[in-house]
Amino acid sequence: MAPPHPANPPPPLEGKLRRIAMMTSGGDAPGMNAAIRAVVRMALEKGCEAYCIYEGYEGLVQGGSFIRKFDWEQVRGWLSEGGTLIGTARCMAFYERPGRLTAAKNMVLNGIDALIICGGDGSLTGADKFRAEWPSLIKELVDTKQLTAEQIEPFKHLNIVGLVGSIDNDMSGTDATIGCFSALGRICELVDYIEATASSHSRAFVIEVMGRHCGWLALMAGVATGADFVFIPEKPRAENWREEMCSIHRKIGKRKTIVIVAEGAADQDGNKISPEMIKDLLADKDGLALDTRITTLGHVQRGGSACAYDRQLATLQGVEAVNAVLDATPETPTPFIAINENKITRKPLVQAVLDTKEVSKAIEARDFDRAMKLRDTEFSDMYNSYMTTTATQLNQSMKLPSRRHMRIAIIHVGAPAGGVNAATRAAVAYCFTRGHTPIAIHNGFAGLARHHDDQPVGAVREFDWLEVDGWASKGGSEIGMNRETPGESGMEHIASLFAKYKFDGLFIIGGFEAFQSLSQLRQAQEKYSSLCIPMTLLPATISNNVPGTEYSIGSDTCLNELVRYCDTIKQSASASRRRVFVIETQGGRSGYVATLAGLAVGAVAVYTPEEGISIAMLAADIAHLKKAFQQDSGQSRAGRLILINEKASKVYNAKLIADMIREEAHERFESRDSIPGHVQQGGTPSPMDRTRAVRLAIKCIEHLENYEDRSDATILKDPQTCTVIGIKGASVVFSPMKEVEEKETDWPNRRPKDEFWVELKHIVDILSGRPEVPRPESSLKGWKAKDRKRGLI
């Protein structure tokens, strides 16, 4: 039995400060614990009191021990935990007014006047209704003498903020919900395993994934794994899908067939399409007679630790939720925290829920065009990308007139990054679909410059579809990457080879060397006519340091690998109770990887090239560690991590810092250094890198197609003929290279001048409890304590 409620609520906090309660409701999703941690610690940082409500709305109705005050240490180690550690449960009592009346009473008795809820659209709808009823609920509690007028005086208004936790990613108005990319990662991992056995035995596999009313998981898994067929609720396949499946299958010599079905998939008449139905079709002896198996992934999709992106998303949204609570007035509509492309935003909750329900209504009414329009832009882009890359050489209606066909060269420049092969596969597929000739340049500009026509395998050759069809999940670069730029290879020689092979367009995939290469080619266009062709760059580097974009292909894969590595190291640090690990990250002269990994693993400190390292900073951090271990009671999860970028300092490296900590610890705790090195480049690319690679690569080839008039004058005059594609804030944009070179690039440090993530470093410090430390003289201009809080997400 729960202990009795307090007789009176605690006195209200002064000013705008709140007692903020955090609750998870509905289903569980990986990343919810990261959101709880962020809300608790940010609330405490702002001077508020933090509470957690156990078992969702059930705990709110039950009260007593289900509503608990939290302190800083209680959420240590929660970032790497799956599910939700404060529990979630369905509560029928809250659906009725008496249940909500009891919940309101419990909140007043605990002095809580703000509620942050992480759940699906049903849970958030209930929260908004609770807020709307709040004044009448409070009045009823006084009228029935359950509370006095004095008790409810400070609690006449309730502030509520929603965070969307759902693996289905079914909430309108946001590109991603907490947990969706972790679930997608689980699906892609399992489909990759299934593909191997399907190819070995020349089998077909029908894989059912979650998604009763939303096909996001099925669609993205189809894009990321290169599945042959995808069935989703929003866009049923054509009426003749059975004939289409039979006619397309293995026409071009494939050994396997992978079909991904969302659990809510139906045909155009609203009839459910089940995995068994598809299996029967593929295995029909009078048809394809394929050895076909069904795999239902089930709840394995929800389990496990959150991926790096979900931890970051949940953390940043949790921080923004606390800020939204403190900014709210009684007139402010209930917001939920969304993300669009790369920008965290607040949006009206009621409208998002209505839009979400409209999708289901459109599907039920079989108005599928409307259902697709109600999904976000990325969903539609991904669907079109998927259909384009699977219609290769089969959908003749998508081919352009022969006069518009182009010879498009594809080259990889720089170091390997996850998603490069997926981007290449998508570009090649799109070229074949439109009638273009995709041409592979092997081993970058060095391979192009040094090849000989009499070599068995030329450095320049046309792609074959069967060759690239299996590249969706491959890491590294199948055509080879090289850091050499055309200027180093000899621009005149490179220009002569462009003329020899009659390139009509150039698609470059790579990191800062690729950016540098495109800059050199652009500047040489006035001198060499053969270089007067449309060119575009898709940034791909684990360092995420290419100007013109806030996201580079490969950076998500790197962060996932680094987070897994750090989780394992932290387990060792925690097991020994009193150990610090100093981990060196890659990233060149950009601290992006170190900072975002620090956000995802809860690093005590992060050292970056942008800020630098000083002896005073190290002394302050060591003093903080000594104090932390002195106060530590020896409980679990006591291990601590420090992340240092490989170029953060010319003097202080991971080993030296670990040695300094060990020396100053005087055997009261230990320290070790660890260098993951090229492990960070990753093996299998992450689903985010795969899907974004496909989407952006197709946009790049579409952009090149715009320049049918490939005269020298047109190319030299129009700055959009030489571009870098990128995500900036809430948009995908093509930025002219000339403008990016001159205005956005810090050439000596090989990074953008304005790095959007720099402000996030302050959040890492806040949530890890790092005190204010002395900043090196080499820090970014204007880096002061008051400035660092500017732009907190």
pLDDT in tens, 303-362: 889 999 999 999 999 999 999 999 998 899 999 999 988 889 999 999 999 999 999 999
Is residue 13 over pLDDT 90? Answer: no
- The reply to whether 488 sits in an annotated binding site is no
Residue 1: band (very low, low, confident or very high) from pLDDT cuts 50, 70, 90: very low
Residue 457 per-residue DSSP state: S
CATH topology of domain 181-301: Rossmann fold (3.40.50)
The tokens describing 113, both together, are 């006047």
How far is it, in rounded angstroms, from Cα 147 to Cα 487?
79
Residue 787: band (very low, low, confident or very high) from pLDDT cuts 50, 70, 90: very low
pLDDT at 341: 83
Residue with tokens 């620090």: 598
Is residue 792 over pLDDT 80? Answer: no
pLDDT at 790: 39
Is residue 125 over pLDDT 50? Answer: yes
Residue 471 CB contacts under 8 Å (≥ 6 apart), including other chains: 226, 421, 422, 424, 425, 478
- The reply to whether 544 sits in an annotated binding site is yes
- The reply to whether 710 sits in an annotated binding site is no
Q: Where are the beta strands (DSSP E) in 404-448?
A: 407-413, 437-441
pLDDT at 575: 64
In the annotation, is 286 catalytic? Answer: no
How far is it, in rounded angstroms, from Cα 739 to Cα 116?
43
| Domain 567-680+758-788: CATH superfamily, name plus number | Phosphofructokinase domain (3.40.50.460)
* Among the listed residues 428, 441, 590, 442, the one whose alpha carbon sits nearest the alpha carbon of residue 511: 590
**Domain coordinates of the chain in residue numbers?**
19-177+306-360, 181-301, 395-553+685-747, 567-680+758-788
Two domains, one topology: 181-301 and 567-680+758-788 = yes
CATH class of 395-553+685-747: alpha beta
How far is it, in rounded angstroms, from Cα 294 to Cα 296?
7
Is residue 634 over pLDDT 60? Answer: no
Is residue 73 over pLDDT 60? Answer: yes
How far is it, in rounded angstroms, from Cα 63 to Cα 3?
9
Is residue 49 over pLDDT 90? Answer: yes
- The reply to whether 470 sits in an annotated binding site is no
Alpha-carbon distances, residue 410 vs 138, 441, 508, 514, 688 (angstroms): 66, 6, 6, 12, 22
Report the pLDDT averaged over residues 573-587: 85
- The reply to whether 587 sits in an annotated binding site is yes
CATH class of 19-177+306-360: alpha beta
DSSP 204-227: EEEEEE--SS--HHHHHHHHHHT-
The tokens describing 145, both together, are 């003498």
pLDDT at 251: 52
pLDDT at 782: 46
pLDDT at 667: 87
- The reply to whether 346 sits in an annotated binding site is no
Residue 460, classed as helix, strand or coil, is: strand
Lowest mean pLDDT among 60-69, 405-414, 461-470, 771-780: 771-780
pLDDT at 466: 84
Of residues 490 and 636, more confidently modeled: 490
- The reply to whether 649 sits in an annotated binding site is no
- The reply to whether 293 sits in an annotated binding site is yes
- The reply to whether 522 sits in an annotated binding site is no
Q: Residue 271: phi, psi to the nearest 5?
A: -85, 135
In this structure, are residues 435 and 395 in contact, taking their beta carbons and an 8 Å threshold? Answer: no
Catalytic residue among 28, 113, 128, 168: 168
The tokens describing 584, both together, are 């060196």
In this structure, are residues 695 and 385 in contact, taking their beta carbons and an 8 Å threshold? Answer: yes
The overall average pLDDT reported for the chain is 90
Report the pLDDT averaged over residues 444-458: 75
Q: Give the up-direction half-sphere exposure of residue 774: CA atoms within 13 A in the CB hemisphere.
A: 12
Task: Report the b/e string of 12-31 with b at 16+ CB within 10 A.
Answer: eeeeeebbbbbbbbbbbbbb
DSSP 714-781: HHHH-GGGEEEEEEETTEEEEEEHHHHHHHTEETTTTEESS-GGGGHHHHHHHHHTPPP-PPPTTSPT
